[in-house]
Structure 1
């Protein structure tokens, strides 16, 4: 099973609609190879806010 895990700080949380928000972290230049971006839709009620430190885990399911 392939797995990727990294930690980052949420830059902002966007209100998508009445059921979901979007958690985002983006390097403004795209020039830093050590910065990984993400943009993940999540259900409302998550309690995350900009500035929170998060761990992102992606696993391949066989």
Structure 2
């Protein structure tokens, strides 16, 4: 049984510096997917233009 509620496939449009420990990955107008705005720990290595998949699961 899967607990997956949604999978968002998209392209990062912008990586914002939040503070010394985290950045924010954003895509707010993708034609192919739902939009996302997710804080992640620094050191993620992601850049604008990278394709990602965000999975939402109930745990």
Q: Any stretches of 5+ residues in structure 2 without a counterpart? A: none
Summarize the Cα distance change of 1:52–1:2 in structure 2 as closer, same or farther, 3 Å threshold: closer
Q: How big is the shift at 1:6?
A: 2.4
Q: Map of 1:8-27 to 2, 5 A cutoff?
A: 8-27=10-29
RMSD in angstroms over aligned alpha carbons?
Answer: 1.7
TM-score, structure 2 length as denominator?
A: 0.85
- 1:58 aligned to 2:56? yes
Report the structure number with the largest CA radius of gyration.
1
Q: Map of 1:42-53 to 2, 5 A cutoff?
A: 42-53=40-51
Q: How big is the shift at 1:2?
A: 4.1
Q: How big is the shift at 1:3?
A: 2.5
User: Deviating runs (4+, > 2 A) in structure 1?
Assistant: none
